[in-house]
């Protein structure tokens, strides 16, 4: 880390990106460069956020720009640029457009901040982490994706709503790819330390798992013009904060699996320890045979998508 304040660049000044910049400023976590391909929008949003800071008491610099020189020497870069889903679309439908966007953005980010740690948000998430990893040439610990933190938060919110208890009492984690094959871990879910199976009947549990898997689509169907952004933005910033503050926080993140959980050469959501070095360790937790099987199915789907990208000849 450099002397002085940390710096986070947020690429894409749309719904997720601007909300992430808002959260970073609110937490007084780091200086922010907010970048977009569209002129003036990032400048306008950064100015608005700078005018928020006297009220929130946040001493951070905010720059909005279309120029990647403004991202120079970032500690962390959150990549949200690309198109979101519309009703009826799957995340995988975004693949061709967003592969090109993430490739070009990653090249420009890395040439200005060769030591930065990258957090991908753009969908289809796991495949975009693969793209950024390949294009950047960065080591495995420095390129990761945000999905598990969001999917786990959705699962925790649904459980809290169902049981009428505090969200703070719910400990739950979702592994696997960020799609319909994600794996909410029922075996490790607890409410104030009590295993969830003791408190919720199996059919209700199954309904919550299903709602979690479709949590993104539920919001897309309601919003109609885009996808969720408040929870995704806060989730990405939780990861950035763990890195900037070297918190050693254990969070589910999309990372490179190289034999971990028996998964070879694939990017997929696994529990990791996040600190100043990025992904400092992939944590092996005990999961049921059924969950392990589902995790392998999910990793297989990511692998198929990455093969589609390879076949496009873009990288």
Ligand X SMILES: NC(=O)c1ccc[n+]([C@@H]2O[C@H](COP(=O)([O-])OP(=O)(O)OC[C@H]3O[C@@H](n4cnc5c(N)ncnc54)[C@H](O)[C@@H]3O)[C@@H](O)[C@H]2O)c1
Cis previous bond, 124, omega within 30: yes
Sites of contact with ligand X (CB under 6 A): 11-17, 36-38, 80-85, 94, 98, 101, 104-105, 121-123, 125, 146-147, 150, 178, 226-229, 232
What is the Cα 256 distance to its own chain's centre?
14
Asked whether 261 and 295 are in contact (CB, 8 A), the reply is: yes
Shortest distance, position 164 Cβ to ligand X, whole Å: 27
Q: For the chain, what's the residue count?
A: 315
Q: Give least dist CB 38 to ligand X, A.
A: 5
Find the shortest distance in angstroms from Cβ 66 to ligand X.
Answer: 8
Phi, psi of 144 (to 5 degrees): -150, 170
Annotated catalytic residue: which of 133, 178, 260, 296? Answer: 178
- The set of residues, in sequence order, having a beta carbon less than 8 Å from that of 115 and lying 6+ positions away, is 75
Secondary structure letter of residue 182 according to DSSP: -
Alpha helices in 245-279 (DSSP H): none
Task: Report which residue's Cβ sits closest to ligand X.
Answer: 14
Of 104 and 190, nearer to ligand X (C-beta) is 104
Instruction: Look at the alpha carbons of 51, 241, 159, 295 in this order and tell me if their dihedral is positive or negative.
Output: positive
Identify whether 178 is a catalytic site residue: yes
Q: How far is the CB of 35 from ligand X (least distance, A)?
A: 6
Residue among 223 and 276 whose Cβ is closer to ligand X: 223
Q: Decide whether 36 or 75 has the Cβ nearer to ligand X.
A: 36
Would you say 196 or 278 has its CB closer to ligand X?
278
Euclidean distance between CA atoms 300 and 305, whole angstroms: 9
* Catalytic (active-site) positions: 178
């Amino acid at each position: 880390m450099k002397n002085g304040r940390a710096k986070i660049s947020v690429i894409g000044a749309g719904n997720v990106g601007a909300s992430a910049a808002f959260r970073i400023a609110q937490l007084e976590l780091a200086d922010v460069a907010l970048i977009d391909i569209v002129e003036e929008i990032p400048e306008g949003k950064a100015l608005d956020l700078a005018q928020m800071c006297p009220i929130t008491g946040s001493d951070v610099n905010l720059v909005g720009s279309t120029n990647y020189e403004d991202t120079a020497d970032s500690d962390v870069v959150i990549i949200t640029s690309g198109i979101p889903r519309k009703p009826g679309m799957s995340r995988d439908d975004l693949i061709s457009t967003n592969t090109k966007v993430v490739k070009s953005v990653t090249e420009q980010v890395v040439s200005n901040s060769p030591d930065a740690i990258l957090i991908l948000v753009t969908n289809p998430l796991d495949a975009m982490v693969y793209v950024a990893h390949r294009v950047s040439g960065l080591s495995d610990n420095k390129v990761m994706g945000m999905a598990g933190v969001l999917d786990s938060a959705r699962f925790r919110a649904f459980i809290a709503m169902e049981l009428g208890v505090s969200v703070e009492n719910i400990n739950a984690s979702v592994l696997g790819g960020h799609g319909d094959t994600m794996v909410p871990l029922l075996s490790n879910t607890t409410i104030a330390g009590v295993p969830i199976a003791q408190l919720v009947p199996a059919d209700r549990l199954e309904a919550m798992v299903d709602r979690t898997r479709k949590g993104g689509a539920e919001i897309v169907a309601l919003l109609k013009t885009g996808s969720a952004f408040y929870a995704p933005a806060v989730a990405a910033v939780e990861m950035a904060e763990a890195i900037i503050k070297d918190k050693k926080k254990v969070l589910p993140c999309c990372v490179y699996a190289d034999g971990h959980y028996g998964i070879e050469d694939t990017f997929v959501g696994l529990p990791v320890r996040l600190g100043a070095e990025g992904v400092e360790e992939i944590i092996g937790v005990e999961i049921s045979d059924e969950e392990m099987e589902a995790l392998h199915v999910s990793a297989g789907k990511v692998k198929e998508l990455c093969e589609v990208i390879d076949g496009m000849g873009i990288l």
